[in-house]
Structure 1
């Protein structure tokens, strides 16, 4: 079975070496796996929440797109596009907004952190908070659900947003699915093996710490100057050095083969000087990065080539998004106004009202469910999850013959219709079997 994997890249900065090792390189490698349909998008709508500098947004979109393409992303195999080129994203955002509880957004980590900071500063809790920040999880849910992604690789700080997307998908399915699962319930994917590179000062490499090693910016000279500033201990050439925990060694090992790592560690323990170690590190990274940097420079000199790739990706993405959004519009009642010929009803003595039907199914977590669906698709009863299929079947059998059994049945009334309607349907079912 093919699984869809979706990754968004916020366009507010220039990628550095840590971004490449921790996110770009592993994502590109994963996109080449069989049975994977990958969607990568430049999250430029999301960038507007964080940044009000148009020139920075424009430049970042170009630099990030060029980085991913130069890094080896196969844009024929993967779908690579700009979020802002997919108008279905914003329309779906509104459809989801209309089913999303405000209380769910109140609990979002980013919003709570902002209100807590305002309160601590003696400000109004919502001072300076835009609706973009507040509604950010709804836009993220639309990004994911528009393509029914199965897996979404994220950091731990984003897991809550995936759970919120699942909540919105379930609510939409319940209200408008009429027994169909319009949205796949996505799952967060956290790779504990992903490398996190230390920066020049040993802390996590981050622009906020001003401790990054450039990926392409500044060319080979910029790389050499940055590596020269990596903090090391004071041991002199000839003195043994412990590789474990050294920032320089961690960066080296992210690019080295097993044999290169072993030799480098052994040489440091034998007294290799930090200066020579830095020279080796520069040479190692250059071997890997120089060809990518050349492709990046060529792309940056010809932005029209990047635009062509992104437009091609948008066309691919919209082949999925446009018909699906049309289906969702129909589901919520936004339908064309057309005259439908009505055949004259032919009544016979044998005519009977259509009965509600029981449906049984199993969810991915292994639990069994049943529901009672009216002839028009309305869900009258939705069960709780049961551990055994035969237990669900037994309840269905009993409810068909004993309407009074409803009082004891394992029913999720929050996901069911009116109890009176369910009782009436069960009475009809029981009478039809007499």
Structure 2
């Protein structure tokens, strides 16, 4: 069974080192595995949230597409496309928006940070907050769920959005009583999860602290690295390598052995100037051949456009089928299709696109309610509820512990052939709603 990988980069600026090390490189490496099915895209709809300069948006799409290709993306192995070429993404985004709780969006880090900033300045809490910014996680969920991604390469700052995508998927599955959406997992490369920028904060266009990937060539790369902020330690003074931005950046491009040596040298008193030169040489050795390919590609926009159009055609072969199935699930189907037979197809048909789980045993699903609290249920292979929590939990780990206990008890029911009068009171003590007939059928 293939593992589906989906990742995209917002086209609102020039590609920087953080984009490459945190998303592009690990995604390309993952796509080379024989069991990988990869979808990589230019997130140009996301760019509209903060980029209202048409020329900048156009140029950024070209630069980021050229960057993916220069970094070694094999378009014969992957599906490489523009988000704005896949109309089904926006349709799915709206359908998911209709079942997503506002409370979930209220907890998004980007929204909360802007509200906090506004309040501290004495402004209206939602000053400058567009609906695009507020509902950004739903569009991201649509990007991921449309292609039934198993893994999504992200930086640590994006993990919350992956968790939200899972919540949104589970809410949809629960609301329509189907096992349709795959629950994606974040794939974070520890050493490069979030790279620091020139000032030590997360490398971001928003902070204007990025280190350019190709723009300005080797000269600009060197000058940027030389401007990285360090403390006032002099040559010969021991440095705290673990807290050094230079060490974090070096580790993202070096082997473990090279990183250990670099760390030891810093701790032993290597000067910041020498450390920056070594960092520059390490990064430049990796970027030089890519920069040459990039410069050639950036002068051939027609070639890049053709590649993106071909990728979009491949993506839409998938997305059109998926959105048709979603339409059927929510009731936006042709009037000559019977609702019962249609839904039965989604739940039971082994060859259906909805069948993403080869294991037909009952399984537990954990999800969030409208207030953000955790609940769980046990569903059968046909999608029917067997057990369902009455109460809710503030901590997911508490849910996990309870599910573990219930699994042990269900095994006991089966192994000891307990009857309904024996196990019903115990299940009730777990504060569960139980479909006894469905439970009997599963146990037998």
Aligned to 2:179: 181
Offset at 1:104?
2.1
CA distance in 2, matches of 1:407, 1:272: 64
Match of 2:220 among 222, 229, 237: 222
Distance 1:378 1:397, change over 3 A: farther
Q: How far did residue 48 of structure 1 move?
A: 1.0
Aligned residue pair count: 392
1:116 to 1:395, Cα distance in 2 relative to 1, 3 A:
farther
Shift of 1:192: 2.1
Unpaired runs of 5+ residues, structure 2, are 339-359, 367-375, 390-402
CA, structure 1 residues 138+234, in 2 after alignment: closer, same or farther (shift >3 Å)?
closer
Of residues 375, 378, 387, the one that matches 2:407 is 387
Residue 158 (1) aligns with residue 158 (2): yes
- Superposition deviation, residue 99 in structure 1: 1.4
- Deviates further, 277-286 or 44-53: 277-286
Deviation at 1:71, TM superposition (A): 0.6
TM-score by length of 2: 0.73
Confirm or deny that 1:361 pairs with 2:362: yes
What residue number does 2:146 align with? 146
TM-score, L = length of structure 1? 0.75
Q: Residues 111-260 of structure 1 correspond to what in structure 2 (within 5 A)?
A: 111-177=111-177, 180-194=178-192, 197-200=195-198, 205-230=203-228, 240=236, 245=241, 251=249, 254-256=252-254
SS of residue in 1 equivalent to 2:7: strand
Q: Deviations over 1:239-286 (max 9, x none)?
A: 657576365566556545677668878999999887677666555544
Cα distance in 2 for residues equivalent to 1:371 and 1:321:
27
Aligned-partner Cα distance in 2 for 1:88–1:64:
23
The corresponding residue for 1:287 is 285
Unaligned runs of 5+ in 1: 341-358, 417-421
Residue 319 of structure 1 is matched in structure 2 by 317
Distance in 1 between residues matched to 2:267 and 2:424, nearest whole Å: 79
Structure with bigger gyration radius? 1
SS of equivalent residue, structure 2 residue 190: coil
CA distance in 1, matches of 2:169, 2:22: 30
**Counterparts of 2:416 and 2:132, CA distance in 1:** 47
How far apart in 2 are the matches of 1:147 and 1:91?
14
Please identify, of 262-271 and 85-94, the stretch whose mean Cα deviation from structure 2 is larger: 262-271
Structure 2 distance, partners of 1:303, 1:80, is 15
Q: Flag the 1:406–1:294 CA change in 2: closer, same or farther, 3 A.
A: same
Match of residue 328 from structure 2: 330
Deviations 1:133-167 (A, max 9, x none): 22112111111111111122223333332222222
Following the alignment from structure 1 to structure 2, what is the Cα–Cα distance between the partners of residues 396 and 331? 38
Give yes or no for contact 1:28–1:73 (8 Å, CA) kept in 2: yes
